[in-house]
Amino acid sequence: MQKQISVLFLLTFLTFSVWSCHKNDPAPVKTFHFYDSLHADGYLRSYLLNLPPDYNEGNNFPLVIALHGFAGNAGQMETDYKLTAKSNSAGFVIVYPEGVPSDGLLGLRTWNAGGCCDYAMHHNVDDVKFIRLLIQKLTEKYKIDPKKIYATGMSNGAMMTYRLGCELSTQLAAIAPVSGTLITRQPCEPARAVPLLHIHSSLDTTIPYPGGPGMANYYFPPVDSALRVWAGINGCIPTPNVITDAPLYTQTEYIDCTNNTSTQLFLTKDGGHSWPGGFQARPAADEPSKAFDATDLIWDFFSRYELP
């Protein structure tokens, strides 16, 4: 009788263990690249998600949040900057959120980065809340490592990247704005030091590196001031070092930062308001710099950092 009870207990335990394992294992995905949406702050927000080819076989994937520029969208950013190809080869999940479209005929999409831009700023759209909810949804639904979430963006998306670094510092391991600047209305006070890689062109007149009027007659603070603010946030020595002075770009870095973070600038001497190494966004747009591939540079930078 005791032997029968033991056998019955063993069978019950094994059955429960197998059921629990299958219950907690996520079902294999069949679609790796698709648009989806969520509700945030009264808006239905859209985004494009790409899972790497080895997603079903792996675990703990890093996530990159890629923010398009003024009047851009997810598909444009994905195509022009070759980000999906890079994320697939590197084994990252990448998501392209989209700004709220304006109520004009063109429905231009923008981000509320604080002092810019257009519909999103004028209507005080809570884009930080949208990204916070998006991170929550993706980390709950997909095999994403919450310690390895990063943000990058172009132009107005770069400004929004800075704002996310200010307000979502406990969720972002590092940020990499391209051709933008820090333009938040409120003081930037992250809860932790956040590694920063900034990429810009000295020839950019849309968002001028020295600061001043640019796109749509907005006034943009100098990029150097943004970097000094971030170096202070990261506890770096206040004077940057020149690491590389090449024919087409200069690399500077603030050193001795808190918790092995860094604040870096890659300033190109060619190109303009563009993504180095990417495609020209439209016929009248600035030619991208040929100094380096910004996508490769950003991935190398992100791969160095994770949240504690």
pLDDT per residue as tens, the chain (308 positions): 444 444 344 444 444 343 334 334 568 999 999 999 999 999 999 999 999 999 999 999 999 999 999 999 999 999 999 999 999 999 999 999 999 999 989 999 999 999 999 999 999 999 999 999 999 999 999 999 999 999 999 999 999 999 999 999 999 999 999 999 999 999 999 999 999 999 999 999 999 999 999 998 999 999 999 999 999 999 999 999 999 999 999 999 999 999 999 999 999 999 999 999 999 888 888 999 999 999 999 999 999 999 99
Is 268 inside any structural domain?
Answer: yes
Total count of domains within the chain: 1
Give the range of the structural domain holding residue 291, as residue numbers without chain letter.
Answer: 34-302
Give me the residue label for tokens 């990499």. Answer: 176
Residue 276 DSSP code:
T
Is 93 inside any structural domain?
Answer: yes
Is 29 inside any structural domain?
Answer: no
Is 14 inside any structural domain?
Answer: no
Is 150 inside any structural domain?
Answer: yes
Q: Which two tokens stand for residue 160?
A: 């929004």
Residue 299 burial by Cβ neighbours in a 10 Å radius (0-12, 13-18, 19+):
buried
Is 308 inside any structural domain?
Answer: no
Please say whether the beta carbons of 65 and 97 come within 8 A: yes
The CATH number of residue 159's host domain is: 3.40.50.1820
Is 135 inside any structural domain?
Answer: yes
Is 1 inside any structural domain?
Answer: no
